[in-house]
Amino acid sequence: MQTGRERVWTALRGMPSDRRPKGEILITEELIKKNSQPGLEQMLEFLDADLVTFPISQETGPWKEWSQKPYFLFGLFQGPFTLMSEKLGWNEMLHQLVQNPGETKLIMRTLLEENLPHLFQALEKGCDGVLFADDMAGNQGLFVSPAYLKENYFPLLHGLIEKINSPEIPFIFHSDGKIMGLVTPLKEAGFWGIQGLQPSAGIEPSLFPLDTFADWVFWGNFEFEGLGRLKTVSEVIKDTENVLESWAPFPRYIFSSSGGLYQDLSLPAIKAAYNTVNSFNNLK
């Protein structure tokens, strides 16, 4: 039987595995405390997860310790669009995007360069892959024009990956919302795939022709939320099976919720989804 790290690597490389890998961008502390044996590692064991995500920051981080454990380690690296919105404020940033697009590119480049040493440190100490998080879209589409992104945003991402200069390090992009306009430019910039795939924003496998995207990593595409309420356990099982069936032709698919696990979710429902991934693959 493969370890979680091995299972994720096989998915990232499009190779056969004993089952689909699964794991989250985020598991909140509040949800972990609801488990009978609180603690992140106990939660991962409870879920039979294959990966875990830690934020990349100026602190040393847990990389060395966790690199000895059987989980694939993603480091969440905050993208420059989000960092710029925090620095300027949302409304001021939108104003500057229109009035001074070249200046916003300089701001984003500076913010990236300030945080780059923390990324190198994480990779040196055992981080396996990078989850580059920048929410660039809402349910109706991208927040800014494709022309702006082509001129000012994607070149920064391409430059970042060139600076890392390691084609064996997987870079996955996270964004909520309607993200189709991001995928091709991200591939061209050197990213391996995308995380999120929010169903409530209309994201489904049919949007991605297999002859074009068989080499692309898709991670996510499940929501525990229904219309105005959380799904029941039976609904979660059925919907998990549907998600797995719809992504079955894609060799590099990783199962997870779209945006992470939070305190209001039901542990039995989450466990049911994760168990369904195991049983679904065993039946194939």
263: CATH: 3.20.20.210
Q: What is the pTM of this model?
A: 0.95
Q: How far apart are CA 197 and CA 107, in angstroms?
A: 28
Beta strand 171-174 with 253-257 is unpaired
DSSP letter (8 states) at residue 127: -
What is the three-class DSSP state of 142?
Answer: strand
Mean pLDDT over residues 223-239, rounded?
A: 95
Angstrom distances, CA of residue 48 to CA of 52, 203, 248, 275: 11, 26, 20, 8
Which residue type is seen at 115?
N
Domain total of the chain? 1
At 97-131, the pLDDT tens digits run 999 999 999 999 999 999 999 999 999 999 999 99
b/e sequence 13-46, b meaning 16+ C-beta within 10 Å: eeeebebbbbbbbbbeeebbeebeeeeeeebbeb
Best CA proximity match to 49, nearest among 279, 258, 256, 268: 256
Write down the pLDDT at residue 283.
41
Burial of 206 from C-beta contacts in 10 A (0-12 / 13-18 / 19+): exposed
Write down the pLDDT at residue 245.
97
Of 14-18, 44-48, 235-239, 266-270, give the lowest mean pLDDT range.
14-18
| Number of Cβ within a 10 Å radius of residue 282 | 9
Mean pLDDT over residues 236-262, rounded?
A: 97
At 20-41, the pLDDT tens digits run 999 999 999 999 999 999 999 9
Task: Print the domain residue range for 65.
Answer: 4-283
Q: How far apart are CA 135 and CA 153, in angstroms?
A: 13
Q: How far apart are CA 167 and CA 220, in angstroms?
A: 23
| 77, β-bridge pairs | 132
